Structure 1
Amino acid sequence: MKREVWIVSAIALVNSLSFTVLLPTLYPYGRQFGLNDFETSFLFSIFSIAQFIATPVIGQLSDRWGRRPLLLVSLAGTMLANLMAGLATAAWVLFLARFLDGITGGNNSVIQAVIADVTDAENRARGFSLFGAAFGVGFVLGPLISLGAQAISLGASFLVSAWIAGIALGVTYFFLPETLEERSQPRRFELGLAKLVTGLTIPKVGILLLINFLIGTTFTIFTYAFQPYFLNVLNQTPQSLALIFIVYGVLGVLMQTFGVPNLTKRFNLLLILFVALLIRSVAFLAMPIWPNVTYFVSITIFFSIFNSLVQPIINTLISLNVDAQQQGMAMGLNSSYLSISNGIGPVIAGVLIHQSNLASYGYPLYLAGACTFGVLLLAIQTRTKYAPS
């Protein structure tokens, strides 16, 4: 694997730490400011909606100006935003900080474009799995760091996240060379809804963008609902939440590092995707059946093992279906669709939850399971439209 892939994977690791440090903290931190469950869901959504607006622009700019400058701007924005959040004294400052982090936070699509720049088709799945593994290591170390920061305060997690983003900024500045050899020609940007609609018409890629949007929506219904269910129904603490994120992270790293490369050598990419979606659907439906912490953790551990396969496979399929000069654009569109799905999912979950009715905390999980099964049927039905040649 080329040196650049290892460098951006290291950047992805440090970058993911700045994100995953916040995962066990954001929901209880919002409640600390007096926000209810529905209002807290917007802390998750506003970040993603801002990313939705910005990511296609960042992807296009990286095709025109290079990968490195856009990574620098994005990481600087994350550092400043988390400083604001950690020092916030009012809820509106927290919302503003989450928006700023999102509007500058399109770096994952740029990192993926770097990987596509320096790998051939044969090694691309391995490159994306290494990126995923680096992000997965962040899911181990980030909650662990958050656990330590929570001993000071919930806001300290944001300050630690800002410091970590600063490390990623330094690694990018001093060690990452520019990987884009052929720049795209200057052209008028197609922004907003028009760009997203245009993306759906790209042969083979359009249907993958739609499928990934639906996958992302169902997944983020779960990722928001998981936290209030774990804390309020199962009566666990933010520290326990951080510990369970650590367990999921370890399993994700193992699958990204060993599972994806071995499975892609032995099985068809589409088969891996279909099996992973089926298991995801069944796991979502099973999670809220019995409000017992041992049962819930067991189901989610089983889920996390196979869930780690979905995004590397989708990213590989998209990358294999576009040419070298469009990798940044395609990855930017994909991240944008994921961002808007991340903005929709938490709000759907927040609408379904009623704090006076503990049973309602399980409703989003049932919905996520049923909808994921529908996405699986769509992916199977349309498979000839996006299968790599």
Structure 2
Amino acid sequence: MNRNFWIIALISLINSLSLTILIPVIYLYGRQYGLNDFQTSLLFSVYSIAQFFATPVIGKLSDRFGRKPLLMISLLGTVVANLIAGTAATAGVLFFARFLDGITGGNAAVAQAVISDVTTPENRARGFGINGAAFGFGFVLGPAMSLLAQQISLGAAFLVSGAIAFVALMITLFYLPESLPVKAVVVRQNLFDLGLKNLITGLTFPKVGILLIINFLIGTTFTIFTYAFQPYFIQVLHQTNQSLTLMFLVFGVLGVLMQTWGISVLTRKINLVAILFLGLLVRGASFLMMPIWANVIYFVGVTILFSLFNSLVQPMINALISLNARAEDQGTVLGLNASYLSVSNAIGPIIAGLMIHQSHPETYAYPLYLAGLLTLGVLIFAVAIRDRYQVQPGTFA
């Protein structure tokens, strides 16, 4: 791995800090503005809906004009949006801030495109694993910083998040060189050719199209869980927001261990597709097990198992998509991938929000059961069509 790889990994780490500081506070921050559970799910969804439309445009632009300028624009949007959210006077302003963050939030996809530029095919899975570990390490530091910020207010967490995104912006500006070897040729200047049309045409990419569908389904099932997890932990298990933040810290520690050490070991013994299947199997089973017994010790035990294997899924699917795409399409394909994940991130919280009712605590378990069943369904589908996206042995190490 060269110097540029480690710089983008550092930027991913800092960017993940900006994100993970917010994850434990968005639910209760929305409740402070008088939003109910369903309305709070929309607060999660508006960010993802905006990302859905913006990310493929940003990915395509990064193929045409370079990774660095688009990464800087995305990070600047995060800085401004979080400053607005942290000082919002009304729920409407808060929704606008989340939309603004989403519409400029293509930084993860651009960072992945940089990784595809600076790694060889045989090191691609390891590169995405390390980048995933850097992102996961944010789940260690981010919740800790969130706990400190929460001592001031929940809004202070947004201000700290914006300040950290500004640090990533400065590192990008002064230390990250352009990694794009050959810029894509501009055929037409129609804005819709930059991304919206590609949401459909991307599905026709050989092998990549089916992986985009699989990742969309994976993302939808996972975000049903990620929204339902917070109200279940607080409302059913009667835990505090500080305890919730500590849970995210545990997720981060275990994720880093698996993505730095576990992926390296597993990729030497079994192929990427098998690792993906393993992660999905444990993820789905864990979702089904979590709400069986409303006991915090039991719940923590299941989430530890979940955290270890869940961290395998996204690096593997990202690596498979990248390995099956042409070099000149990396930014476009990874942008499309992030966009389909964004729309899944919008759908999942809404599904969970519609299923739960504060006056009926037992309903908080329903999205967890649904997420488990659907995840196992996606696994069966992925196994059945594995020949359509399996990479050749020796393509990875």
Shift of 1:191: 5.5
Per-residue CA shift, 1:91-126, capped at 9, x if unaligned?
A: 001000000000000011110110110111111111
Q: Distance in 2 between matches of 1:342 and 1:220?
A: 6
Matches within 5 A, 1:194-213: 194-213=197-216
Aligned residue for 1:16?
Answer: 16
Find the partner of 1:293 among 296, 310, 313. Answer: 296
Shift of 1:130: 1.0
Matched AA of 1:370: L
Aligned residue for 2:96?
Answer: 96
Q: Distance in 2 between matches of 1:322 and 1:28?
A: 41
Per-residue CA shift, 1:328-359, capped at 9, x if unaligned?
A: 00100000000000000000000000111000
Matched AA of 2:160: V
Aligned residue for 1:336?
Answer: 339
Q: Distance in 2 between matches of 1:160 and 1:321?
A: 38
The TM-score, its normalising length taken from structure 2, stands at: 0.97
Per-residue CA shift, 1:28-59, capped at 9, x if unaligned?
A: 00001100000000111000110001000000
Aligned residue for 1:350?
Answer: 353
Aligned residue for 1:281?
Answer: 284
Shift of 1:190: 2.6
Per-residue CA shift, 1:117-151, capped at 9, x if unaligned?
A: 01111111111111101101100100100000000
Structure 1, unpaired ranges of 5+: none
Shift of 1:323: 1.3
Q: Distance in 2 between matches of 1:193 and 1:358?
A: 40
Alpha carbons 2:60, 2:194 under 8 Å: kept: no
Cα 1:355–1:192 shift into 2, 3 Å: farther
Q: Distance in 2 between matches of 1:261 and 1:314?
A: 15
3-state SS in 1 of match to 2:193 = coil
Aligned residue for 1:164?
Answer: 164
The TM-score, its normalising length taken from structure 1, stands at: 0.99
Q: Distance in 2 between matches of 1:35 and 1:131?
A: 35
- Which aligned runs of 4 or more in structure 1 are off by greater than 4 angstroms? none
Shift of 1:226: 0.1
Aligned residue for 1:377?
Answer: 380
Aligned residue for 1:316?
Answer: 319
Greater Cα shift, 187-196 or 129-138: 187-196
Residue 232, structure 1, aligned to residue 235, structure 2:
yes
3-state SS in 1 of match to 2:24 = coil
3-state SS in 2 of match to 1:182 = coil
Structure 2, unpaired ranges of 5+: 393-397
Alpha carbons 2:286, 2:303 under 8 Å: kept: yes
Matched AA of 2:119: T
Alpha carbons 2:81, 2:98 under 8 Å: kept: yes
Shift of 1:195: 2.0
Q: Distance in 2 between matches of 1:279 and 1:3?
A: 35
